[in-house]
Copies of this chain bind each other. A is one copy, B any other.
Amino acid sequence: MISVVLIGTGNVAQNLFHAFGKATNIEVKQVAGRTAAHLKFARDISKVTTDLDKLVPADVYILAVSDDAIPSVSSKLTHTRGLLVHTSGGTSLEALGNRRNAGVFYPLQTFTQGKAISFDDIPLCIEAKQPNDVKTLRKLGTQLSSTVVTINSEERQILHVSAVFVNNFTNYMYTIAESLCKENKVDFKILKPLIKETAAKLDHLSPLTAQTGPALRGDQQTLHTHLSLLKNKQHRDIYTLLSNAIKSKHGEEL
């Protein structure tokens, strides 16, 4: 049995709390957050506190707070023994200060308010200063997910910037398409099967092999027609830059 204290009340904290609740060998001993109202999700099931000085003893303290808050909150946790980990992709291990038992427990996924996600296939990227702590995090992780990978801080940064491309920027591509559809009174919903299949294709193909479209084909006429349809200058700039990038990338590969 691994005992856990969870610090934070956002999407990651809530999703972890529910996942730990389903695991047989993990006990969430306490959930801490600044605002009593935000602890609602936990208080019928677990002890809760708004006072970081009143944390109970536990094997692992999980700091699931915003990236900015990690250094300041962790500096207030000098009185806790046990392993302290944060859950951030973009934050180094050093943000937890110079305590001996520090680590990272980073679920590589996007969490949505009010939508519980199964942890089964969420990759958990773990890191810790002490080999024994890596073992503890691996035990904790395998209770939740079938993919637990040990990743150092540099590798985690690469995953984090990659996640910006495949999640944040991809979502922005969807946003542009939605606004084009709205402007022209076309139902954006019609594009959803294509969006899903674009992602699903990666089960069979590398994205390099899966690339299609007018830029790849060097189809200048379609590129011009498309640019003439885009009323927003930023959309045209994005269309041009990405089309040129596809052309030069696949030019290289020829």
A226-243 to B contact mask, C-beta < 8 Å, 1/0: 100110001001110110
A210 → chain B, closest Cβ, in Å?
A: 6
Whether A25 is near chain B, meaning CB under 8 Å from some CB there, is no
The closest CB in chain B to the CB of A237 belongs to B241
**A173 vs B171: C-alpha distance in the bound complex, in angstroms?**
10
Chain A contact-residue range equals 35 or more
A-side interface residues toward B, CB under 8 Å? Answer: 67-68, 90, 108-110, 112, 115, 117, 121-123, 125, 147, 149, 151, 154-155, 157-178, 180-181, 184-188, 190-208, 210-216, 219, 222, 225-226, 229-230, 234, 237-239, 241-242, 244-246, 248-249
A241 touching B239, Cβ below 8 Å:
no
Q: In the complex the two chains form, is A161's CB within 8 Å of B204's CB?
A: no
A193 touches B230 (CB 8 A): no
- Among candidates B110, B184, B188, B239, residue contacting A164 with C-beta atoms closer than 8 Å: B239
25 A-B pairs with CB atoms under 8 Å apart are A67-B219, A68-B219, A90-B214, A90-B222, A112-B210, A151-B186, A158-B186, A162-B188, A165-B176, A165-B180, A166-B198, A169-B173, A170-B170, A171-B211, A172-B246, A174-B202, A175-B211, A178-B207, A178-B208, A192-B202, A198-B199, A234-B241, A234-B244, A234-B245, A238-B241
